[in-house]
Amino acid sequence: MLEAKGLSPLLYSLVAASPMLGAIVAPSLWGMAYARNPRLVQVLVPLGDFCGQAILAASFALLAADADEALVKAVLCIGLLVFSLSRAGVGVVQHAAIARLLSPSGLMSGFVAMIFFGHLVVAACNWAVPRVMGEGGILGLQLLLLVPNLGCS
C-alpha cells in the first residue's frame, strides 16, 4: 500500500526507525552539551519544553479557527519537533542533578522520591486529563499543560 503511494522500503524503514534513533541521539547530544555547559542546558531544556508546548497550543488554536490545513500541519510538526528534542534533555538534566545531589548515604531515598513524584504526576494527569478534555478539548488541555512550564521556566 505504501509503495503504491510512492514510499520506498528504504524511506519507510528510515521513517519507522527515526523515533528510536531520536531516543538515542538526542539524549546523547544533550549529555555532551551538559558536560560542556550545564547551566546553559538547564535553561535551554525547560525553555524548549515550554516553546514546544506553546507552538502545539498555537497549532490547536489555528485548527479551531479553521486556518489553512497546510499551516496547521506545519505548526503542529514544528511544535512536536521542538517539544520532542527538548524532552530528550529533561532526562539528562534530571539524572545529572540527582547524581550531583545524592550522597552515598542518601542514594535510595533520592530515587524513591523521584519515583514517588513521577507516580504523583501520572496520577494527577489521569485525574485531570479526561475532565479538561471534556470541558476545553485538546486546546484547553494543551493550555493547561503550559501552566507547570510557566512555574518551572
| Count of CB atoms situated within 10 Å of the CB of 129 | 13
DSSP element (H, E) containing 59: helix 38-64
Extended beta strands in the chain, E state: none
Task: List, for residues 64-117, the tens digit of each pLDDT value.
Answer: 899 999 999 899 989 888 888 888 888 888 888 777 777 666 666 776 777 788
How would you class 119 by CB atoms within 10 Å of its CB: exposed for 0-12, middle for 13-18, buried for 19 or more? exposed
Cα-to-chain-centroid distance, residue 84 = 5
User: What mean pLDDT is predicted for residues 5-31?
Assistant: 75
Task: List, for residues 32-45, the tens digit of each pLDDT value.
Answer: 999 999 999 999 99
Predicted confidence at residue 55, as pLDDT, reads 94
User: What mean pLDDT is predicted for residues 15-34?
Assistant: 81
Predicted confidence at residue 59, as pLDDT, reads 92
User: How far apart are alpha carbons 46 and 87 in whole angstroms?
Assistant: 8
User: How far apart are alpha carbons 144 and 146 in whole angstroms?
Assistant: 5
Predicted confidence at residue 41, as pLDDT, reads 93
Predicted confidence at residue 148, as pLDDT, reads 78
The pLDDT confidence band at residue 4, using thresholds 50, 70 and 90, is low
Q: Is the pLDDT of residue 153 over 60?
A: no
Q: Quote the pTM value.
A: 0.66
Task: List, for residues 43-64, the tens digit of each pLDDT value.
Answer: 999 999 899 999 999 999 999 8
User: How far apart are alpha carbons 49 and 89 in whole angstroms?
Assistant: 9
User: How far apart are alpha carbons 138 and 61 in whole angstroms?
Assistant: 9
* HSE value, Cβ hemisphere, 13 Å, CA-based, for 113: 10
